[in-house]
Amino acid sequence: MTKYLTFKGDGEFRQILILSLLSGKPVVIEEIRHLEDELGLTEYEVSLLKLIDELTNGTKTKLNETGTRLVFNPGFIIGGEVTHDCSLSVPLGYYLEVLVCLAAFSKKKFNITLRGVTHGQGHPNVDTLKHVTLSYCKKLGLHSAEMTINKRGYAPGGGGEIVFNCNTLKVVKPIQWLDSGKIKRIRGVASCARMSPATNPRVIDKARGVLNDFLPDVYIYNEHLKGAQSGNSPGNSLTLYTESTTDVTICCDNTATSQTLPEDLALTTTHQLLDAVHAGGCVDSSHQYLVLLYMALTQHNVSSVRLGPLTPFTITFLRNLKLFFGVVFKIKVDKIDVEEPGNRKGLGSTLVLSCLGVGFENMNRSMT
């Protein structure tokens, strides 16, 4: 008789699907929004299940009539060339965060075309994924990972299109990311579509006015789109990321609402970036889960990474890693005495997380 892992609620939906596919353990998710007016899975969650079905072979999903109970039996990750029209309720980052976790362990290289909203609220936009997420992927061994932004599409109309390509791995090498280095440059992308060409210069000037007080090497690309490449709705966004002497990248992005001034968008994003740098660590908060997943799947060796404060998403992910793979992380608080000469003023403590990998091998790549 098949033994299912049982979960309740919708808060861990993507985590559960990722870990179920990689571990091969079937799951049951119950009480999905059972007390809300709109019961069960949302449109974008059903769209994610359809995308997973296209990328795998043998995956079986069963929903009850109200959509509040999901039985998920994982199949094999096949990959290959897939085109998927995503829900306009969430940005493409919602789907791409799942794909970057699965791509390395597929039978074939991923060549995925996604259409929908490229910039929205609640999830990283495509500029962050292209310049920052893929830089982490390359450090983890996915050297041919790349993303092409064919069209940008802001919420609510969407109309964007991206192409994600990624190689596979047989095994994951141990990770030792402990030295965050010093910030040597700041880069960014200010983009707008179906808006005045003066919008981006206002964002860039305000952001540089703040960042140049800390570093002279600041460059923000100006992308003003019109016509077929501008999607179906007006909008503007700002993505900023730092690069250190040890190739550590810290990022932050924001997409403006209809009430947001360009200057306010710049100030909000720059202050969030400075807070992220101040928090310390070799991985920013939005990518902690990705590095911890690869650490758990490495060969039978110890991996370590220095992080800033753990997000609630990361804490839940650590619990689920133990549940699916039996991996337990050792967490050490590495305090810094700010009074000692040579330390950066105001820098507090960081966390060093270590674990022994489970020796995961990509059996899908061996299939014929």
pLDDT at 159: 92
Contact 246, 181 (CB under 8 A): yes
**CA distance linking residue 13 with residue 213, whole number of Å:** 42
**CA distance linking residue 199 with residue 230, whole number of Å:** 15
pLDDT in tens, 213-223: 999 999 999 99
Beta-strand runs (E) in 167-217:
176-177, 183-193
**CA distance linking residue 195 with residue 320, whole number of Å:** 43
Q: Phi/psi zone of residue 67: left (φ > 0), alpha (ψ -120 to 50 degrees), beta?
A: left
pLDDT at 368: 44
Give yes or no for a cis peptide into 216 (omega within 30° of 0): no
Contact 234, 194 (CB under 8 A): yes
User: Among 65, 60, 53, which residue's Cα sits nearest to residue 4?
Assistant: 60
Encode the chain (368 residues) as per-residue pLDDT tens digits: 678 999 998 889 999 999 999 999 999 999 999 888 888 899 999 999 999 999 999 999 999 988 899 999 999 999 999 999 999 999 999 999 999 999 999 999 999 999 999 999 889 999 999 999 999 999 999 999 999 999 999 989 999 999 999 999 999 999 999 999 999 999 999 999 999 999 999 999 999 999 999 999 999 999 998 888 888 999 999 999 999 999 999 999 999 988 899 999 999 999 999 999 999 899 999 999 999 999 999 999 999 999 999 999 999 999 999 999 999 999 999 876 554 444 554 456 899 999 999 999 988 775 54
Contacts of 274 (CB under 8 A, 6+ apart): 210, 214
Is the pTM for the entire model greater than 0.85?
yes
Give whole-number Cα distances, 326 to 11, 20, 96, 239, in Å.
21, 13, 26, 36
Q: Tokens 């359809």 — which residue? A: 50
Over 67-120, what HEC string results? CCCEEEECCEECCEEEEEECCCCCECHHHHHHHHHHHHHCCCCEEEEEEEECEC
Q: Is 262 exposed, middle or buried (0-12, 13-18, 19+ CB in 10 A)?
A: buried
Name the CA radius of gyration of the chain, rounded: 21
pLDDT at 214: 92
Neighbours of 229 (CB within 10 A): 16
CA 132 to chain CA centroid, nearest Å: 9
Give whole-number Cα distances, 112 to 94, 115, 125, 365, in Å.
14, 10, 17, 18
Contact 6, 30 (CB under 8 A): yes
**CA distance linking residue 303 with residue 306, whole number of Å:** 11
Contact 316, 301 (CB under 8 A): no
pLDDT at 79: 92
